[in-house]
Amino acid sequence: MKKKYEYGLVLSGGGTRGFAHLGAIKALEENGIRPDIISGVSAGGIVGALYADGQDAEAALKALITKNLLGFLKLMIPKKGLLKMTGFEKTLRKTLKAKRFEDLKIPLILHAVNINTVEYTRFDKGDLIQAIKASSSIPVVFPPVDIDGHQYLDGGIVNNFPVEPLVDQCKTIIGINVNPLGPEYNISNLKTIAIRSFHLSMRNHAESRKEECDIYVEPEGVQKYGILDLANAREVFDLGYKKALEVLQKK
Protein backbone atom coordinates (compact mmCIF):
# COMPACT_ATOMS: atom_id res chain seq x y z
CA MET A 1 0.00 0.00 0.00
CA LYS A 2 1.34 3.41 -0.98
CA LYS A 3 2.07 5.64 2.03
CA LYS A 4 0.70 9.18 1.91
CA TYR A 5 3.57 10.82 3.83
CA GLU A 6 7.35 10.45 3.83
CA TYR A 7 7.93 11.32 7.51
CA GLY A 8 5.49 11.24 10.41
CA LEU A 9 6.39 12.60 13.85
CA VAL A 10 4.89 11.44 17.18
CA LEU A 11 5.34 13.72 20.19
CA SER A 12 4.50 12.51 23.70
CA GLY A 13 3.22 14.50 26.62
CA GLY A 14 5.52 15.49 29.47
CA GLY A 15 4.93 19.09 30.53
CA THR A 16 7.96 21.35 30.21
CA ARG A 17 10.03 18.25 29.42
CA GLY A 18 8.54 18.95 26.01
CA PHE A 19 11.45 21.32 25.43
CA ALA A 20 13.37 18.12 24.66
CA HIS A 21 11.01 17.67 21.69
CA LEU A 22 12.31 20.93 20.28
CA GLY A 23 15.92 19.84 20.72
CA ALA A 24 15.20 16.56 18.95
CA ILE A 25 13.43 18.40 16.11
CA LYS A 26 16.52 20.60 15.68
CA ALA A 27 18.64 17.46 15.29
CA LEU A 28 16.17 16.05 12.75
CA GLU A 29 16.32 19.26 10.72
CA GLU A 30 20.12 19.23 10.74
CA ASN A 31 19.94 15.74 9.26
CA GLY A 32 17.57 16.83 6.50
CA ILE A 33 14.46 15.34 8.10
CA ARG A 34 11.29 17.45 8.20
CA PRO A 35 8.00 15.81 9.18
CA ASP A 36 5.08 15.85 6.76
CA ILE A 37 2.51 15.21 9.50
CA ILE A 38 2.58 15.39 13.32
CA SER A 39 0.59 13.51 15.96
CA GLY A 40 0.96 14.93 19.46
CA VAL A 41 -0.60 15.09 22.89
CA SER A 42 -0.26 17.54 25.78
CA ALA A 43 3.24 19.11 25.66
CA GLY A 44 3.80 17.30 22.38
CA GLY A 45 0.69 19.00 21.06
CA ILE A 46 1.99 22.45 22.00
CA VAL A 47 5.38 21.79 20.39
CA GLY A 48 3.72 20.19 17.38
CA ALA A 49 1.49 23.23 16.90
CA LEU A 50 4.42 25.65 17.05
CA TYR A 51 6.44 23.62 14.57
CA ALA A 52 3.47 23.09 12.24
CA ASP A 53 2.91 26.84 12.45
CA GLY A 54 6.28 27.40 10.78
CA GLN A 55 8.58 28.11 13.74
CA ASP A 56 11.91 26.30 13.81
CA ALA A 57 13.09 24.65 17.01
CA GLU A 58 15.26 27.50 18.31
CA ALA A 59 12.61 30.13 17.54
CA ALA A 60 9.95 28.07 19.30
CA LEU A 61 12.17 27.64 22.36
CA LYS A 62 12.82 31.37 22.51
CA ALA A 63 9.13 32.17 22.11
CA LEU A 64 8.07 29.85 24.90
CA ILE A 65 10.72 31.12 27.31
CA THR A 66 10.26 34.81 26.46
CA LYS A 67 6.48 34.76 26.59
CA ASN A 68 6.52 32.52 29.67
CA LEU A 69 3.79 30.17 28.51
CA LEU A 70 3.17 28.82 32.01
CA GLY A 71 3.74 32.08 33.85
CA PHE A 72 0.05 32.87 33.84
CA LEU A 73 -0.97 29.82 35.85
CA LYS A 74 -2.74 30.85 39.03
CA LEU A 75 -3.59 28.83 42.11
CA MET A 76 -7.32 28.44 42.54
CA ILE A 77 -9.62 27.05 45.22
CA PRO A 78 -10.01 23.39 44.18
CA LYS A 79 -13.24 22.77 42.33
CA LYS A 80 -12.25 21.20 39.04
CA GLY A 81 -8.48 21.82 39.16
CA LEU A 82 -5.68 23.12 41.38
CA LEU A 83 -4.37 25.64 38.86
CA LYS A 84 -6.30 28.03 36.69
CA MET A 85 -4.97 28.54 33.14
CA THR A 86 -5.32 32.32 33.35
CA GLY A 87 -3.60 33.87 30.36
CA PHE A 88 -2.54 30.52 28.86
CA GLU A 89 -4.91 30.93 25.92
CA LYS A 90 -3.87 34.57 25.50
CA THR A 91 -0.22 33.55 25.30
CA LEU A 92 -0.95 30.84 22.75
CA ARG A 93 -2.82 33.32 20.58
CA LYS A 94 0.13 35.72 20.70
CA THR A 95 2.63 32.97 19.88
CA LEU A 96 0.79 31.12 17.10
CA LYS A 97 0.00 32.69 13.75
CA ALA A 98 -2.52 29.95 12.98
CA LYS A 99 -5.80 29.98 14.87
CA ARG A 100 -7.28 26.96 13.11
CA PHE A 101 -5.80 23.60 12.12
CA GLU A 102 -6.45 24.46 8.49
CA ASP A 103 -4.03 27.43 8.77
CA LEU A 104 -1.02 25.28 9.74
CA LYS A 105 1.82 24.58 7.32
CA ILE A 106 2.03 20.91 8.39
CA PRO A 107 -0.99 18.68 9.16
CA LEU A 108 -1.36 18.25 12.93
CA ILE A 109 -3.38 15.76 14.95
CA LEU A 110 -4.03 16.44 18.64
CA HIS A 111 -5.67 14.19 21.21
CA ALA A 112 -7.77 14.71 24.33
CA VAL A 113 -10.18 12.68 26.44
CA ASN A 114 -13.87 13.53 26.45
CA ILE A 115 -14.72 12.90 30.09
CA ASN A 116 -18.46 13.09 29.44
CA THR A 117 -18.55 10.30 26.86
CA VAL A 118 -15.30 8.58 27.95
CA GLU A 119 -13.91 8.83 24.41
CA TYR A 120 -10.36 9.40 23.22
CA THR A 121 -10.92 12.26 20.79
CA ARG A 122 -8.93 13.32 17.76
CA PHE A 123 -8.72 16.99 16.80
CA ASP A 124 -7.39 17.87 13.33
CA LYS A 125 -9.66 20.68 12.14
CA GLY A 126 -11.36 23.76 13.51
CA ASP A 127 -10.26 25.81 16.54
CA LEU A 128 -6.58 25.08 17.21
CA ILE A 129 -6.20 26.93 20.51
CA GLN A 130 -9.06 25.16 22.29
CA ALA A 131 -7.79 21.80 21.08
CA ILE A 132 -4.28 22.55 22.45
CA LYS A 133 -5.75 23.52 25.82
CA ALA A 134 -7.90 20.38 25.93
CA SER A 135 -4.98 18.15 25.01
CA SER A 136 -2.81 19.77 27.70
CA SER A 137 -5.18 19.85 30.66
CA ILE A 138 -3.61 17.49 33.21
CA PRO A 139 -6.40 16.07 35.40
CA VAL A 140 -6.75 17.50 38.92
CA VAL A 141 -3.96 20.02 38.22
CA PHE A 142 -5.97 21.90 35.56
CA PRO A 143 -9.73 22.18 35.03
CA PRO A 144 -11.36 20.43 32.05
CA VAL A 145 -11.69 22.44 28.83
CA ASP A 146 -15.19 22.94 27.44
CA ILE A 147 -15.64 22.41 23.69
CA ASP A 148 -19.16 22.36 22.23
CA GLY A 149 -20.69 21.48 25.56
CA HIS A 150 -18.31 18.60 26.32
CA GLN A 151 -15.44 18.59 28.83
CA TYR A 152 -11.97 17.45 27.84
CA LEU A 153 -8.77 16.54 29.68
CA ASP A 154 -5.22 15.65 28.68
CA GLY A 155 -5.17 12.85 26.09
CA GLY A 156 -2.19 11.33 27.88
CA ILE A 157 -4.64 9.77 30.34
CA VAL A 158 -5.49 7.20 27.67
CA ASN A 159 -2.53 7.36 25.29
CA ASN A 160 0.54 9.50 25.89
CA PHE A 161 2.26 8.34 22.71
CA PRO A 162 -0.29 8.67 19.88
CA VAL A 163 1.42 6.80 17.06
CA GLU A 164 -1.75 5.08 15.77
CA PRO A 165 -2.92 7.84 13.37
CA LEU A 166 0.41 7.63 11.51
CA VAL A 167 0.60 3.86 11.09
CA ASP A 168 0.06 2.91 7.43
CA GLN A 169 0.21 6.61 6.54
CA CYS A 170 3.96 7.27 6.69
CA LYS A 171 7.02 5.63 5.17
CA THR A 172 9.06 6.56 8.23
CA ILE A 173 7.61 7.17 11.71
CA ILE A 174 9.74 9.11 14.19
CA GLY A 175 8.71 8.91 17.83
CA ILE A 176 9.96 11.18 20.61
CA ASN A 177 9.07 10.25 24.18
CA VAL A 178 10.00 12.84 26.81
CA ASN A 179 8.21 11.21 29.72
CA PRO A 180 10.33 8.33 31.06
CA LEU A 181 9.56 7.68 34.70
CA GLY A 182 12.30 7.42 37.32
CA PRO A 183 12.50 7.59 41.13
CA GLU A 184 11.00 10.69 42.80
CA TYR A 185 11.36 11.38 46.52
CA ASN A 186 10.25 15.01 46.74
CA ILE A 187 6.49 14.35 46.86
CA SER A 188 5.32 16.95 49.31
CA ASN A 189 2.00 18.43 48.20
CA LEU A 190 -1.27 17.69 46.39
CA LYS A 191 -0.06 19.05 43.06
CA THR A 192 3.03 16.80 43.14
CA ILE A 193 0.92 13.77 44.06
CA ALA A 194 -1.56 14.51 41.26
CA ILE A 195 1.20 14.85 38.65
CA ARG A 196 3.01 11.74 39.87
CA SER A 197 -0.21 9.72 39.78
CA PHE A 198 -0.86 10.93 36.24
CA HIS A 199 2.62 9.83 35.16
CA LEU A 200 2.18 6.40 36.73
CA SER A 201 -1.06 5.88 34.84
CA MET A 202 0.62 6.44 31.48
CA ARG A 203 4.11 5.03 32.03
CA ASN A 204 3.69 2.08 29.65
CA HIS A 205 2.07 3.93 26.76
CA ALA A 206 5.28 4.60 24.82
CA GLU A 207 6.82 1.25 25.73
CA SER A 208 3.97 -0.68 24.13
CA ARG A 209 3.88 1.51 21.03
CA LYS A 210 7.51 2.29 20.24
CA GLU A 211 7.80 -0.78 18.01
CA GLU A 212 5.65 1.11 15.50
CA CYS A 213 8.44 3.69 15.13
CA ASP A 214 11.30 3.46 12.64
CA ILE A 215 13.24 6.05 14.66
CA TYR A 216 12.66 6.29 18.41
CA VAL A 217 14.13 8.96 20.69
CA GLU A 218 13.86 8.89 24.49
CA PRO A 219 16.23 11.41 26.07
CA GLU A 220 17.92 10.27 29.26
CA GLY A 221 17.86 12.61 32.22
CA VAL A 222 14.65 14.53 31.48
CA GLN A 223 12.87 12.79 34.36
CA LYS A 224 14.84 14.84 36.88
CA TYR A 225 13.10 18.01 35.71
CA GLY A 226 9.63 18.97 36.92
CA ILE A 227 6.88 19.05 34.33
CA LEU A 228 5.96 22.67 35.14
CA ASP A 229 9.55 23.93 35.35
CA LEU A 230 10.59 26.58 32.84
CA ALA A 231 13.88 27.46 34.56
CA ASN A 232 15.86 24.67 32.90
CA ALA A 233 14.34 24.85 29.42
CA ARG A 234 17.67 25.08 27.59
CA GLU A 235 19.12 22.09 29.48
CA VAL A 236 16.07 19.98 28.62
CA PHE A 237 16.25 21.16 24.99
CA ASP A 238 19.90 20.07 24.84
CA LEU A 239 19.08 16.61 26.21
CA GLY A 240 16.62 16.08 23.37
CA TYR A 241 19.07 17.41 20.81
CA LYS A 242 21.96 15.21 21.93
CA LYS A 243 19.87 12.04 22.16
CA ALA A 244 18.32 12.55 18.74
CA LEU A 245 21.75 13.09 17.18
CA GLU A 246 22.98 9.91 18.85
CA VAL A 247 20.03 7.89 17.50
CA LEU A 248 20.31 9.34 14.00
CA GLN A 249 24.03 8.61 13.80
CA LYS A 250 23.26 4.94 14.34
CA LYS A 251 20.81 4.82 11.43
What whole-number distance in Å separates Cα of residue 26 and Cα of residue 20?
10
Judge whether 53 counts as a catalytic residue: no
What whole-number distance in Å separates Cα of residue 245 and Cα of residue 19?
16
Q: How far is CA 160 from CA 8, 12, 13, 114, 155, in A?
A: 16, 5, 6, 15, 7
Among candidate residues 107, 153, 154, 150, the one with its CA nearest the CA of residue 128:
107
* Active-site entry in 42, 135, 136, 137: 42
Judge whether 42 counts as a catalytic residue: yes
* Active-site entry in 12, 135, 136, 154: 154
Question: How far, rounded to the nearest angstrom, does the alpha carbon of residue 3 sit from its chain's CA centroid?
Answer: 25
Strand partners, 170: 5
Q: Which residues are catalytic?
A: 42, 154
